[in-house]
Amino acid sequence: MATNASTLPLRWTYNPFSAGFCNDPLWDSAVTWDTTNPNFTECFQKTALSWIPCGFLWLALPLLLRRGLQTGPTIRRWTYLSTSKIILSGILALLCLMEFFHLTHIWRTAGLAGIPDVDIVDPLVKAGTFFLSMWYVYVYRRRARPSSAILFVFWLAMLIAGIVRYRTLIERATVYGISDPLKFGTQMVYLPVVLSQFLLSCFAETFPEVSTNTRKPCPEQLSSVPSRLTFWWFTR
């Protein structure tokens, strides 16, 4: 029995990039909507889903510069929380650079065939952004800021993007196997570290050496971002 073509779902694709930048379109309705296993395309995961959080952190840089130039208390002591954040951001940047140099080595030895440009650009963008997040932590600690809403939103967005990517990698490894153990290994370590960063961003720093003009400052000023969002600081 013949199938009426008018009953078939209309496939819509969109790809603003040049040929060779991605192996698939930025958006494909057959991958995202008209399927029993919805997902995002590889191009979407490695560009929009990954770079929007990075762009957010870079766009917020003027606010960080303004805060860094403000007069106020200066903290030279490193706390366990800020040190952990710096170390984890360094690990993430290292993972991205390992992936970049690994793909660069493959390109130099085996040629560029099969390696889209986005695979080279994406780890560099994320590595630079993770180095920027280290500077955010440094400035907020030095200016005695207990928490950062900017970093909280950034790590939440990176966590969501990482979960989507993690699911895709696991499904592909289950069906097709692992073709590149080093790249797969770095990507498997990536998500737990991002999750750790997000959890750390849910806590507020404590700076007991900073003196205040009031006997008891408002708890909201010393609370974490989740505490301010849920008004939990009222109970303190």
* Alpha-helical segments (H) within 111-180: 117-142, 149-176
| pLDDT one-digit tens code per residue, 133-160 | 999 998 888 877 777 889 999 999 999 9
Mean pLDDT of the chain: 83
H or E stretch including 181? helix 181-201
For residue 220, pLDDT beyond 70: no
Average pLDDT, stretch 180-184?
89
The answer to whether the beta carbons of residues 148 and 201 sit under 8 Å apart is: yes
The answer to whether the beta carbons of residues 25 and 47 sit under 8 Å apart is: no
Model confidence, pTM: 0.86
What 204-211 contacts at long range (C-beta under 8 Å, 24+ apart), as own/partner pairs, is 204/146, 204/147, 205/79, 205/81, 205/82, 205/140, 205/141, 205/144, 205/145, 205/146, 205/147, 206/79, 206/146, 207/73, 207/75, 207/79, 207/144, 207/146, 209/75, 209/77, 210/73, 210/75, 210/144, 211/73
Give the pLDDT score at 1: 45
Backbone angles phi, psi at 151, to 5 degrees: -70, -35
Q: 């493959």: which residue's tokens?
A: 106
Give the pLDDT score at 115: 83
Domain boundaries, the chain: 40-203+219-235
For residue 180, pLDDT beyond 60: yes
Give the separation between CA 2 and CA 197, rounded to whole angstroms: 55
Average pLDDT, stretch 40-69?
89
pLDDT category of residue 108 using cuts at 50, 70 and 90: confident
Give the pLDDT score at 157: 96
